[in-house]
Amino acid sequence: MAKIYSKNSIKDLNEQEPREETVNFLLNYSKALSVINCNKLKFEALLN
């Protein structure tokens, strides 16, 4: 167990980068998401 939490394994995790597909998916999702405020309620609509 001690080896899993060593500094080397933490260093490797910090060097990972997301794939371009993942970044594009998240950006497109955030562009299509609309939040509508109505009184004290919030409605989320996905505009696809």
2 part of a folded domain:
no
**Position 26 in a domain:** yes
**Is residue 15 in some structural domain?**
yes
Kindly list the distances between the CA atom of residue 15 and the CA atoms of 4, 9, 12, 39, 45, in Å, as whole numbers in the listed order. Answer: 16, 10, 5, 44, 35
Count up the domains in the chain and report the number: 1
Kindly give, in sequence order, each residue whose CB lies less than 8 Å from that of residue 46, ignoring residues fewer than 6 positions away.
Answer: 29, 32, 33, 34
pTM given for the model: 0.52
Position 1 in a domain: no
Domain span holding position 24: 7-46
- pLDDT tens for each residue of 5-42: 655 555 556 677 889 999 999 999 999 999 999 999 99
Q: Is the CA virtual torsion 27, 33, 35, 36 positive or negative?
A: positive
